[in-house]
Amino acid sequence: MKMSLYSKKVGIFSAGVVILAACGLSSGGAAAADFYAGKTLNLIVSVQEGGGTDTTARIVGRHMATTLPGSPSIIVKNMPGAGHLRATNYMYSQAPRDGSTFALIWPSYVMHQIADGRSSKYDAAKFNYIGSSGASNSTIFVWHTTGVKTLEDAMKKEVLMGGTGAGSDTVLYPTLLNRTLHTRFKLVTGYKGAGAIDLAVQRGEVEGRGGSAYSTLVAKHSDWLKSNKIHVLVQIGEKAEPGFENVPMLTSFAKDAKTREIFQIFSYGVALGRPFLAPPNIPAERLADLRKSFMAAVKKPALIAEFKKARLDIEPMTGERLTELVARMVNASDEVQSGVKALVARKKKKK
């Protein structure tokens, strides 16, 4: 039987696919392996070394190096500064857009875009989201010597709170509560990171801080919790942190529907967890590679064991879900966004 030229070509192509499959590679997988093999990828982290976020990045990066095609090397580079905005702006406008650089950035940059934006050189919705290792509720805590045990107490007594920069939760949350609930948190900013603030709390330079995830407190300061060296005044998230149901939720303090909607935006921000992202406009196949590798890495028993040893929670979220949450935040109604801006935007200095 004669075979047409078209049929011959199809037969040859099909055989090629079978050969690739026999080698354990699809044509797309082969291209990905070619891209990543021998490469060194950069994983940017928006915090200084140490702490839960940095530890998360290092564990995930180490395991993604084994799940990415071609088994590239992954180097973690810490880029703290300006309340996570230094790393955010870098990823948006300067990082290579070929899939060789991705980041773990504390998600306050989304809220900062809505609330202020004057130092924002990015659109959070345009990042390519890879996945999140999980969310842990954010908190505001004070040292035990302050005499402040509840949020109501903080409405009556001034408390010095350490902060990093304008885009950080260390600044956003105390400011939000000052302007909605009339707490008396006084910010002392300029610290290089959460670890530096925690040391300042212990030394008595400041009396507390906002923006600490429960998972970080448990991992790094379990002794503070066990010995009641700190009082956690409020938690921010979509639902109460398991084991800390006695600490009131931010939304429970809302006095009207509009304030509740604004508080809910902050809760969405916390639900982002620890998001891994790539710059805008990277090739679609590279984003698919990173997403697939991330989800494979966070399901590995070895990674889960490392998280458990480090006392870090893991509840993976897909890049697609992250994209939806960010869109929900940045596309909130004008009324809600205006309310957020009025509450937490930096006040202009008087001339």
Give the domains, in start order, of the chain with CATH numbers: 39-134+273-332 (3.40.190.150), 138-270+340-344 (3.40.190.10)
pLDDT at 216: 85
Report DSSP state, residue 168. Answer: S
pLDDT at 219: 83
The residue whose two tokens read 């408390």 is: 159
pLDDT at 208: 98
* Distance between CA atoms of residues 143 and 106, nearest Å: 24
pLDDT at 168: 83
Q: Tens digit of pLDDT per residue, the chain (351 long)?
A: 444 433 343 343 344 444 333 444 444 577 888 899 999 999 999 999 988 899 999 999 999 999 999 999 999 999 999 889 999 999 999 999 999 999 999 998 998 888 776 667 899 999 999 999 988 899 999 999 999 999 999 999 999 999 998 768 899 899 999 999 999 999 999 998 889 999 999 999 999 999 998 988 988 899 999 999 999 999 999 889 999 999 999 999 999 988 999 999 999 999 999 999 999 999 999 999 999 999 999 999 999 999 999 888 899 999 999 999 999 999 999 899 888 888 876 665 554
pLDDT at 311: 83
Residues listed for the chain = 351
What radius of gyration do the chain's Cα atoms show? 23
pLDDT at 83: 83
* Distance between CA atoms of residues 39 and 96, nearest Å: 13
User: What are the b/e assignments for 281-293, b being 16+ CB within 10 Å?
Assistant: ebeeebbebbbbb
pLDDT at 7: 39
pLDDT at 4: 43
Given a contact cutoff of 8 angstroms between Cβ atoms, the answer to whether 53 and 278 are in contact is no
pLDDT at 112: 85
* Distance between CA atoms of residues 9 and 18, nearest Å: 14
Enter the tokens of residue 323. 């994209």
pLDDT at 313: 84
* Distance between CA atoms of residues 193 and 205, nearest Å: 15
The residue whose two tokens read 């009396």 is: 207
Given a contact cutoff of 8 angstroms between Cβ atoms, the answer to whether 103 and 91 are in contact is yes
